[in-house]
Chains A and B, each alone.
Chain A
Amino acid sequence: MLLGHIKIRDFLEGTHGKVRGILVNDAKNRYYAADYSWREDEHDCLWITRKDGKGAQVKVKSVIDLDESLVAFFGLYSGDGAKGSESQDKVGKIKPQVSFSQKEANLINFAVIQFRRLFCGSIRFTFSIGEDSAYFMDRDGLEKLKLFYNGNIPAISSLSLVRPTLSDADQRYLGEKRPVVGTNEEHLAFYYQHKDAMASILREVKRLALLSAGISLGKTDRVDASLRRPFKKGARQPGGSSRSDETQVGGINGFGEFFLKIMHEIEDSILDDRNISTQGLIEWIDTPSLIGEIVNITDFFSNNSYGCIGGKRPTITQKKDLFSTEILQGRWSRSKEVSIKSTLRINPLWCYTSGLYLAEGSTDKNLLLTMYRKGLSSPSLGFTASENSSIKLILQALQQLFPSDQCLEGWKIKVGSQYFPELVVIGLKNAVPVLRGGDSGDGKLRTMEISLALKQWALEVVPSICQYEDKYSHVEPTGAGVPRVDFWASQSLCLWYFPLLMYAVFGQIFPNPSQDFY
Chain B
Amino acid sequence: MDNHLFIPGICLSNIQLLPEHRIWLTDWLQSLERQVGDKSIAASECLQGALTELAVSQSIKTDWTGIMDAYLLNEGSPLAYSEAYGKRLYKFNKQWPQTPIHCIHARWWIERICTKSNDSIDYGGLIESFIQPNGWIYNPLVSKTRTQTRMKSEYMMSFTMGLEILHAYDLLEKRREALEAVISSEPTTVFLSAESFRQKSLEILGVPELAPINFHSILTICKLEEGFCDFSVREKRDDYMGTLKRVTRDVAVHSPLSALHAHYISTFCTPEIQEEVSKTMRNIATHLKSNPLAIKSFKIRDLVDVPFGTDISPIELIAASSIVQNFS
Residue of B nearest to A420 (CB): B151
The B280-328 residues at the A interface (CB cut-off 8 A) are: 298, 300-303, 306-310, 313, 315-316
The A436-468 residues at the B interface (CB cut-off 8 A) are: 436-441, 444, 446-454, 456-457, 460-461
Please measure, in the bound complex, the distance between the C-alpha atom of A26 and the C-alpha atom of B249, giving whole angstroms: 11
Pick the most buried of B151, B236, B245: most chain A CB atoms within 10 A of its CB.
Answer: B151
Q: Quick check: B229 and A440 within 8 Å, CB to CB?
A: no
Please measure, in the bound complex, the distance between the C-alpha atom of A473 and the C-alpha atom of B88, giving whole angstroms: 9
Among candidates B85, B303, B309, residue contacting A422 with C-beta atoms closer than 8 Å: B309
Say if the beta carbon of A211 comes within 8 Å of chain B: no
Say if the beta carbon of B199 comes within 8 Å of chain A: no
Please measure, in the bound complex, the distance between the C-alpha atom of A431 and the C-alpha atom of B103, giving whole angstroms: 10
Say if the beta carbon of B174 comes within 8 Å of chain A: no
The residues of B that contact A433 with a CB separation of less than 8 Å are 100, 102, 151, 153-154, 157-158
Please measure, in the bound complex, the distance between the C-alpha atom of A438 and the C-alpha atom of B98, giving whole angstroms: 15
Q: Known: A453-B309, A454-B308. Contact between A431 and B315, CB under 8 A?
A: yes
Interface string of A357-380 (1 = CB under 8 A from B): 000000000000000000000000
Among candidates A423, A430, A461, residue contacting B303 with C-beta atoms closer than 8 Å: A461
Say if the beta carbon of B214 comes within 8 Å of chain A: no
The A1-42 residues at the B interface (CB cut-off 8 A) are: 26-29
Residue of B nearest to A452 (CB): B88
Residue of A nearest to B238 (CB): A417
Q: Quick check: A27 and B302 within 8 Å, CB to CB?
A: yes
Among candidates B47, B95, B143, B302, residue contacting A431 with C-beta atoms closer than 8 Å: B47
> Among A141-149, A175-183, A189-197, A260-268, which stretch is in contact with chain B?
A175-183
How far apart are B159's CB and chain A's nearest CB, in angstroms? 11
Q: Quick check: A418 and B300 within 8 Å, CB to CB?
A: no
Q: Quick check: A434 and B89 within 8 Å, CB to CB?
A: no
Q: Known: A27-B301, A27-B302, A435-B143. Contact between A418 and B89, CB under 8 A?
A: no
Say if the beta carbon of A506 comes within 8 Å of chain B: no
Interface residues in A, total, Cβ within 8 A = 57
> Among B179-187, B200-208, B250-258, which stretch is in contact with chain A?
B250-258
Q: Quick check: B236 and A418 within 8 Å, CB to CB?
A: yes
Q: Quick check: A422 and B81 within 8 Å, CB to CB?
A: no
Among candidates B91, B153, B255, residue contacting A410 with C-beta atoms closer than 8 Å: B91
Say if the beta carbon of A295 comes within 8 Å of chain B: no
Q: Quick check: A434 and B151 within 8 Å, CB to CB?
A: yes
Say if the beta carbon of A419 comes within 8 Å of chain B: yes
Say if the beta carbon of A471 comes within 8 Å of chain B: yes
Q: Quick check: B236 and A429 within 8 Å, CB to CB?
A: no
Q: Known: A421-B236, A448-B42. Contact between A27 and B47, CB under 8 A?
A: no
Please measure, in the bound complex, the distance between the C-alpha atom of A437 and the C-alpha atom of B96, giving whole angstroms: 12
Among candidates A236, A447, A457, residue contacting B307 with C-beta atoms closer than 8 Å: A457
Residue of A nearest to B47 (CB): A431
Q: Quick check: B300 and A425 within 8 Å, CB to CB?
A: no
The residues of B that contact A28 with a CB separation of less than 8 Å are 249, 301-302
The residues of B that contact A429 with a CB separation of less than 8 Å are 255, 257, 309-310, 313, 315-316
A-B contact count (CB 8 A): 176
How far apart are A446's CB and chain B's nearest CB, in angstroms? 5
Residue of A nearest to B151 (CB): A434
Please measure, in the bound complex, the distance between the C-alpha atom of A211 and the C-alpha atom of B249, giving whole angstroms: 42
The residues of B that contact A444 with a CB separation of less than 8 Å are 92, 95
Say if the beta carbon of A426 comes within 8 Å of chain B: yes
The residues of A that contact B146 with a CB separation of less than 8 Å are 439-441
Q: Known: A472-B90, A483-B308. Contact between A424 and B230, CB under 8 A?
A: yes
Q: Quick check: B301 and A436 within 8 Å, CB to CB?
A: no
Q: Is the interface of B mostly helix, strand, loop or mixed?
A: loop
Please measure, in the bound complex, the distance between the C-alpha atom of A444 and the C-alpha atom of B142, giving whole angstroms: 11
Among candidates A426, A431, A438, A471, residue contacting B6 with C-beta atoms closer than 8 Å: A431
Among candidates A428, A435, A460, residue contacting B142 with C-beta atoms closer than 8 Å: A435
The B71-112 residues at the A interface (CB cut-off 8 A) are: 80-81, 85-86, 88-92, 95-96, 98, 100, 102, 106
Say if the beta carbon of A187 comes within 8 Å of chain B: no
The residues of B that contact A439 with a CB separation of less than 8 Å are 144-146
Residue of B nearest to A443 (CB): B145
The A315-341 residues at the B interface (CB cut-off 8 A) are: none
Please measure, in the bound complex, the distance between the C-alpha atom of A457 and the C-alpha atom of B308, giving whole angstroms: 6
How far apart are A415's CB and chain B's nearest CB, in angstroms? 9
Q: Quick check: B230 and A425 within 8 Å, CB to CB?
A: yes
Say if the beta carbon of B48 comes within 8 Å of chain A: yes
The residues of B that contact A489 with a CB separation of less than 8 Å are none
Say if the beta carbon of A124 comes within 8 Å of chain B: no
Say if the beta carbon of A83 comes within 8 Å of chain B: no
The residues of A that contact B315 with a CB separation of less than 8 Å are 428-429, 431
Residue of B nearest to A473 (CB): B90
Say if the beta carbon of A127 comes within 8 Å of chain B: no
Say if the beta carbon of A285 comes within 8 Å of chain B: no
The residues of A that contact B301 with a CB separation of less than 8 Å are 26-28, 482
Q: Known: A27-B302, A176-B243, A236-B240. Contact between A424 and B309, CB under 8 A?
A: no
How far apart are B31's CB and chain A's nearest CB, in angstroms? 14
Say if the beta carbon of B231 comes within 8 Å of chain A: yes
Interface string of A215-251 (1 = CB under 8 A from B): 0000000000000000100001000000000000000
Please measure, in the bound complex, the distance between the C-alpha atom of A429 and the C-alpha atom of B191, giving whole angstroms: 15
Interface string of A473-495 (1 = CB under 8 A from B): 11000000011000000000000
Residue of A nearest to B146 (CB): A439
Say if the beta carbon of A168 comes within 8 Å of chain B: no
Say if the beta carbon of A470 comes within 8 Å of chain B: yes
Please measure, in the bound complex, the distance between the C-alpha atom of A468 and the C-alpha atom of B108, giving whole angstroms: 38
Say if the beta carbon of A166 comes within 8 Å of chain B: no
Among candidates A29, A454, A461, residue contacting B309 with C-beta atoms closer than 8 Å: A454
Q: List 12 A-B contacts (CB under 8 A).
A: A27-B301, A176-B243, A419-B300, A421-B191, A421-B230, A426-B309, A430-B48, A432-B44, A434-B153, A434-B154, A448-B96, A457-B309
With A431-B315, A446-B100, A449-B44 known, 12 other A-B pairs at CB within 8 A are A28-B249, A236-B240, A410-B90, A419-B300, A420-B151, A421-B230, A427-B154, A431-B6, A436-B143, A446-B143, A456-B307, A457-B300
Leading 3 A-B pairs by shortest Cβ distance:
A433-B154, A426-B309, A421-B231
Interface residues of B (CB under 8 A from A): 6, 42, 44, 47-48, 80-81, 85-86, 88-92, 95-96, 98, 100, 102, 106, 142-146, 149-151, 153-154, 157-158, 191, 193, 229-231, 236, 238-243, 245-247, 249-250, 253, 255, 257-258, 298, 300-303, 306-310, 313, 315-316
Interface residues of A (CB under 8 A from B): 26-29, 176-179, 231, 236, 410, 417-441, 444, 446-454, 456-457, 460-461, 470-474, 482-483
